[in-house]
């Protein structure tokens, strides 16, 4: 079984600094890190490298969005461990406004590997996909809960995981691993949450901690910050021109995934 889970949000985004930014991958709504975010990612790498070897992460699972992979990259380089791309850890989008298309979806690991050569591993196929139609607050919690139920039994005994994701997805992870579905939590850029396995439950050691960052925790966000109307963020359109694109796969695909190694159970 997994021994420890470290969870880090991506660093400070370029689009928070300027409107003149370019997506490295060409995907809409996929901004890179700002210089501050890159520095935060390096500080995360220094923090994990400072841990005793038997406490350091042994594998990284990252959202496929570029800013998350950028955040994971210095840790991967410092510790010499792979990055596995998992769509179940993707950004949260609220349900799309009618007739506005679909939300974006990054490509598979093979399409992202050229941006991070030698770091992204092909030895993992994503086991969960959020709908491109978006999710209500309840649905993102169900997505993350289903992902964890599918994911954790697939990982080997004694593994120490680093998950790199987004504020909403991490807030859901923290709530669910803590066993507090309505827990108020705010997630800052490159903040660290940490859980240790304790029998059949998870013990929360850190929650959105920014003490490893020279500037502390910045740009924190929680579900309590959203403007909600019937469980959705108000006015969340899709990507123009995506109306005829496919919204698949959606949900758990673990039974179809032939490239995972089932070695343990919860």
pLDDT for 30-43, tens place per residue? 999 999 999 999 99
- Contact by Cβ (8 Å): 8, 32: no
Q: Which residues of 59-82 are buried (b: 16+ CB within 10 A; e: fewer)?
A: bbbbbbbbbbbbbbbbbbebbebb
Q: Using 50, 70 and 90 to split pLDDT, how confident is the model at 228?
A: low
Name the one residue in this structure whose structure tokens are 């992460």.
Answer: 57
Mean pLDDT of 136-162: 96
Distance, CA of 247 to CA of 93 (rounded, Å): 14
Q: Taking Cα atoms as reference points, which of 96, 106, 25 lies closest to residue 63?
A: 106
Whether the pLDDT of residue 229 is over 90: the answer is no
Distance set, CA 154 to CA 62, 72, 149, 157, 163 (Å): 16, 21, 10, 10, 15
pLDDT of residue 263: 34
% the chain with pLDDT above 90: 85
For the stretch 95-143, pLDDT in tens is: 898 899 999 999 999 999 999 999 999 999 999 999 999 998 999 999 9
- Contact by Cβ (8 Å): 222, 185: yes
pLDDT of residue 265: 30
Whether the pLDDT of residue 235 is over 90: the answer is no
Whether the pLDDT of residue 256 is over 70: the answer is no
Write down the H helix ranges in the chain: 35-50, 66-79, 109-112, 137-151, 167-178
3-state secondary structure of 88: helix
Q: Using 50, 70 and 90 to split pLDDT, how confident is the model at 233?
A: low
Distance, CA of 128 to CA of 89 (rounded, Å): 8
Contacts (Cβ under 8 Å, ≥6 apart) of 245: 101, 102, 132
For the stretch 192-221, pLDDT in tens is: 999 999 998 999 999 999 999 999 999 999
Distance, CA of 176 to CA of 131 (rounded, Å): 20
Q: Using 50, 70 and 90 to split pLDDT, how confident is the model at 230?
A: low
Mean pLDDT of 44-66: 98
What CATH architecture does domain 4-252 belong to?
Answer: 3-Layer(aba) Sandwich (3.40)
Q: Taking Cα atoms as reference points, which of 72, 78, 81, 40 lies closest to residue 214?
A: 40
Q: Using 50, 70 and 90 to split pLDDT, how confident is the model at 165?
A: very high
pLDDT of residue 161: 98
| The dihedral sign for the CA sequence 214, 119, 146, 250 | positive
Q: Taking Cα atoms as reference points, which of 195, 203, 211 lies closest to residue 163?
A: 195
pLDDT of residue 262: 35
Q: Using 50, 70 and 90 to split pLDDT, how confident is the model at 87?
A: very high
Parse the chain into domains and list their residue ranges: 4-252
Mean pLDDT of 143-164: 96
- The whole-model pTM stands at 0.94
Cα-based torsion angle of the residue sequence 249, 255, 256, 257 in order, rounded to the nearest 10 degrees: 100
pLDDT of residue 225: 82
pLDDT of residue 257: 54
Structure tokens at 172: 């859901």
Q: Using 50, 70 and 90 to split pLDDT, how confident is the model at 226?
A: confident
Contacts (Cβ under 8 Å, ≥6 apart) of 110: 122
């Amino acid at each position: 079984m997994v021994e420890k889970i470290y969870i880090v949000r991506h660093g400070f985004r370029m689009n928070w600094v300027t409107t003149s930014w370019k997506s490295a991958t060409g995907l809409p709504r996929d901004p890179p890190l700002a210089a501050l975010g890159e520095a935060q990612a390096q500080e995360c790498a220094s923090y994990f490298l400072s841990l005793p070897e038997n406490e350091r992460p042994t594998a990284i699972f990252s959202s496929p969005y570029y800013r998350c992979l950028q955040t994971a990259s210095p840790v991967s380089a410092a510790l010499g461990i792979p990055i596995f791309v998992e769509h179940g850890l993707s950004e949260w989008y609220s349900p799309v406004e009618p007739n506005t298309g679909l939300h974006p979806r990054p490509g598979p690991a093979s399409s992202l590997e050229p941006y991070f050569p030698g770091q992204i591993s092909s030895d993992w196929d994503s086991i969960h996909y959020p709908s491109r139609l978006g999710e209500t607050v309840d649905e993102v919690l169900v997505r993350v809960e289903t992902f964890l139920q599918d994911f954790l039994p697939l990982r080997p005994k004694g593994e120490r995981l680093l998950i790199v994701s987004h504020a909403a997805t991490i807030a859901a992870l923290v709530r669910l691993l803590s066993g507090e579905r309505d827990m108020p939590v705010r997630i800052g850029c490159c903040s660290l949450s940490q859980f240790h396995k304790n029998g059949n439950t998870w013990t929360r050691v850190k929650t959105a901690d920014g003490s490893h960052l020279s500037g502390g925790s910045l740009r924190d966000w929680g579900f309590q910050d959203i403007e909600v109307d019937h469980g959705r963020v108000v006015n969340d359109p899709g990507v123009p021109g995506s109306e005829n694109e496919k919204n698949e796969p959606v949900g758990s695909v673990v039974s179809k995934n032939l490239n995972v190694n089932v070695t343990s159970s919860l």
